[in-house]
Amino acid sequence: MRHIAIVGSGPAGFYAAEAALKALGPDARVDILDRLPTPYGLVRAGVAPDHQSIKEVVRRYEAVALDPRVRFVGLVDVGVDVTVDELLSCFDDVILATGAPRDRRLGIPGEDLPGVVGSAAFVGWYNGHPDFRDLAPPLDHPTVVVIGNGNVAIDCARILARTPDELASSDIAQHALEALRKAQVRTIRLVGRRGPHQVSFTLKELGELGELDRATPWVEAADFPPPEADLALEPGQRRVVEVLRRFAATGPDGRRPIVVRFDFFRRPARILGRERVEAIEVVPTRLDETGRAVDAGPAEVIPCGLVISAIGYRTAPIPGVAFDEREGRFANEDGRIGPRLWCVGWARRGPSGTIGTNRTDAFAVVERLATTPSAGRPGRVAFDRLLVARGIATSDFADWRRIDALEVARARPGAPREKVVDLGELRRVALGAPVA
């Protein structure tokens, strides 16, 4: 037998489990641990609620969870409830698939003011992640600034821009839908240090901004290089820039009240406000010969009531596990952290790629793991003994299915589910307490 503990039940954790079943065959025994009783990581709590088709991927993970060699063990926070060393004493191998749940900091004055939120928190709030249910982002000002030029920034802007009716059939958390219904937001400004050629948007995500019921995108024509410069871009990026050029040509349309404005070539310098955010100061930039953004003019002040920073994520360190502070992920060499200790997904390579990238990543790491000898550890029998000794009540996949059924039953008409957002309630449902 080969006993493997995978910490984290997001895409990387499930792909690692699938890879272990393939590589080790009948000898594999895989425990997938998560601090929450709900599996699927950012597929549940990151992927946008109005992109339900992407969430279909969980069917594949469900098949893995139902394999008799696999166990889902919810409500175990590794590093808090049990240490990695303890896991290594129970299991032959430990694979960390804990993702990158912390926002990268902006590193500018004022970023701790109320009303400055990271995208992990904002996205977690509208997606009903229990850690962020009480975020209450201020939506009472006509302008919101989103910092970042990637898909997460677009997700944040799009959710703010959609009508409550457009969102009602999604699985957006009820508290977010209600707050957005009352929101005063009229302008969403996407601030990026560089220009249209440097964005990290994907075509579908960007194009969607041009198809919203009550919002139009707007790009300054002056921000583009001459059209012939687009020929130097690789074809995918060229199509993205074509969409941005279309947005610039159309401009805001008077019929739709919300504008999603791209503020290219602007460096966020300071966030201003007394009790809460009142404005952000940005400095115009230009690109130097090496492609770096350098300051190019006097600062401008954009009055706003909410600043969302969507500039990337960091893994949360776990005591005793080597950490790469600069990169914000576990220190690893092709997925190996140390003897019998591995990492996959965002915890290994940082926040990049699509859901599918985690599959390639996890399969490669497990392929390496499978070539190492088994340490002859006892596996889940020893782990269960440890949990009992410590009085830790865990949940399993059947408990998750009970939560799932409850959420589906509570859904608004036309919506796929209404998530349980309170950790106490999640625990009660998972651990089998009667539900009102």
Rama region for 6: left / alpha / beta (φ>0; ψ in -120 to 50; rest): beta
- CA 424 to chain CA centroid, Å, is 23
**Complex with ligand FAD: residue 205 or 281, whichever CB lies closer:** 205
**Complex with ligand FAD: residue 230 or 384, whichever CB lies closer:** 384
Contact of 85 with 383, CB cutoff 8 Å: no
Q: What is the smallest separation between the CB atom of 273 and ligand FAD, expressed in angstroms?
A: 26
Best CA proximity match to 55, nearest among 362, 344, 419: 419
Footprint of ligand FAD on 150-179 (CB under 6 A): 152, 155
Q: What is the smallest separation between the CB atom of 353 and ligand FAD, expressed in angstroms?
A: 6
Q: What is the smallest separation between the CB atom of 101 and ligand FAD, expressed in angstroms?
A: 6
In angstroms, the CA 44 to CA 205 distance is 18
Give yes or no for residue 190 binding ligand FAD (CB under 6 A): no
In angstroms, the CA 167 to CA 415 distance is 9
Contact of 99 with 317, CB cutoff 8 Å: no
Give yes or no for residue 8 binding ligand FAD (CB under 6 A): yes
Give yes or no for residue 340 binding ligand FAD (CB under 6 A): no
Give yes or no for residue 355 binding ligand FAD (CB under 6 A): yes
In angstroms, the CA 176 to CA 419 distance is 12
**Interacting span for ligand FAD (CB under 6 A) from 71-79, 188-196, 289-297, 385-393:** 71-79
**Interacting span for ligand FAD (CB under 6 A) from 65-73, 158-166, 347-355, 392-400:** 347-355
Q: The dihedral of CA 303, 308, 312, 318: what is its sign? A: positive
Q: What is the smallest separation between the CB atom of 348 and ligand FAD, expressed in angstroms?
A: 8
Footprint of ligand FAD on 17-46 (CB under 6 A): 33-36, 41-43, 46
Give yes or no for residue 77 binding ligand FAD (CB under 6 A): yes
**Complex with ligand FAD: residue 15 or 224, whichever CB lies closer:** 15
Give yes or no for residue 304 binding ligand FAD (CB under 6 A): no
**Complex with ligand FAD: residue 7 or 209, whichever CB lies closer:** 7
Give yes or no for residue 49 binding ligand FAD (CB under 6 A): no
Q: Determine the Cα angle at 157 with ends 52 and 223, to 5°.
A: 130
The length of the chain, given as a count of residues: 436
Complete DSSP assignment for 123-170: HHHHTT-GGGTT------SSEEEEE-SBHHHHHHHHHHHS-HHHHHTS
**Interacting span for ligand FAD (CB under 6 A) from 235-243, 248-256, 263-271, 354-362:** 354-362
Give yes or no for residue 309 binding ligand FAD (CB under 6 A): no
The encoded tokens of residue 140 equal 């009472």
The enclosing H or E element of 279 equals strand 279-287
Helix, strand, coil proportions of the chain in percent (round to 5)? 40, 20, 40
**Complex with ligand FAD: residue 118 or 273, whichever CB lies closer:** 118
Contact of 176 with 132, CB cutoff 8 Å: no
**Interacting span for ligand FAD (CB under 6 A) from 18-26, 245-253, 350-358, 398-406:** 350-358
Residue count at the site for ligand FAD (CB under 6 A)? 37
Q: Which residues bind ligand FAD (CB under 6 A)?
A: 7-13, 33-36, 41-43, 46-47, 51, 54, 77-79, 97-99, 101, 123, 152, 155, 316, 318, 345-347, 353-355, 358
